[in-house]
Amino acid sequence: MPREFVCEGAPRDLGLDQGRACRDELRSRFARSPFWKRWRHELGSSEKRTARLARDLKRHFPQQSEALEGMVRGAEVPQGWLFALLARELGADVPTRVGEAVALAADASRAGGNSIVARTLGCEPVVRRSRPEGGFASVELTLPWFTTALAGVNEGGLAATWIALPGGFAGDGCAAPAALLIQDCLTRFDSIRGAADWCTGRPCGGRAVILLADAGGDVTALEVAGRARRVRAPEAGVVIAGEETAAVAALGAHAKPDLETAAKVLGGRVAGVDPVGRRVALLDGATGGCEWFEVEPPD
């Protein structure tokens, strides 16, 4: 069972709670870095790409920038190292275990009456219960060093996930990764309309697909390629992003592509989101196992 923790309050408090909850994982990962990298980060030096990311996070994603500052304090790790980790895992060199995934969104007409979103996972996620000050409470599957979710849903019934696309970052555009958009959406919006408008208008970089669903039964996908945005409406009620395989084609053609079917057809670990039930699932296609985690708004 994945570990759960609660983050509550202003952005720095959210990060502080996560840093404290994930302190062992973060410090252990930092300790495994090569000596010369640890030494450089402890001295406060950073690569050009990391400096650009820190600059653009503060400019375009100020709340997540503040959350990262809180995470640094809570975990007692160098800020430059945490920003470098984020740049590497959400930036140009996205590793297979996080970035290369298949994602699905199906509207209510195809998913048995409720819209769903899902994505494959190649990592061990944690469960974060976010209760931001002045925003929607949400439950998310994420990684200890991420401010953004891998997949999540808020108390208003907005569900979101993302996958990275090949190509990474190029030129001197915004260095803040597109994946960060979904956390802002979960905090701010309870339906696709506002969330999609937000994602279309906000600066971000890299190449990714963001999938959204809401409790009203609608789904949409937004392709991001640097400054370019393209909204993809579902075809016959389904939108799929990621590498095309026989399993993906079978999933798209399935009469009722619910979360359990998605995990079974894809054959691995899947993060699934039910916006009507305000809950996320961690499913195992090999064993048929399923663990649900519901949104728990503050009292």
**Per-residue pLDDT for 34 more than 70?**
no
Residue 265 lies in a domain: yes
Residue 273 lies in a domain: yes
Per-residue pLDDT tens over the stretch 143-182: 999 999 999 999 999 999 998 887 666 556 788 889 999 9
* Residue 156 pLDDT: 97
Which domain range does residue 190 map to? 103-124+160-294
Whether 219 and 192 have beta carbons less than 8 Å apart is answered as yes
* Residue 93 pLDDT: 41
Residue 181 lies in a domain: yes
Q: How far are the Cα atoms of 174, 178, 220 from residue 228, in angstroms, in the given order?
A: 12, 11, 17
Residue 192 belongs to a domain with what CATH number?
A: 3.60.60.10
Domains identified in the chain, total number = 1
Print burial letters for 125-150: b (CB count within 10 Å at least 16), e (below 16). Answer: bbbbbbbbeebbbbbbbbbbbbbbbb
Residue 182 lies in a domain: yes
Residue 233 lies in a domain: yes
Phi, psi angle pair for 48, to nearest 5°? -60, -45
The more confidently predicted of residues 82 and 35 is: 82
Residue 224 lies in a domain: yes
Q: Which helix (H) or strand (E) holds 130?
A: strand 126-132
- Cβ atoms within 10 Å of 214's Cβ, excluding its own: 26
Residue 38 lies in a domain: no
Q: Is the pTM of this model over 0.85?
A: yes
How does DSSP classify residue 211? E
Residue 151 lies in a domain: no
Per-residue pLDDT tens over the stretch 183-241: 999 999 999 999 999 999 999 988 889 999 999 999 999 999 888 899 988 888 888 88
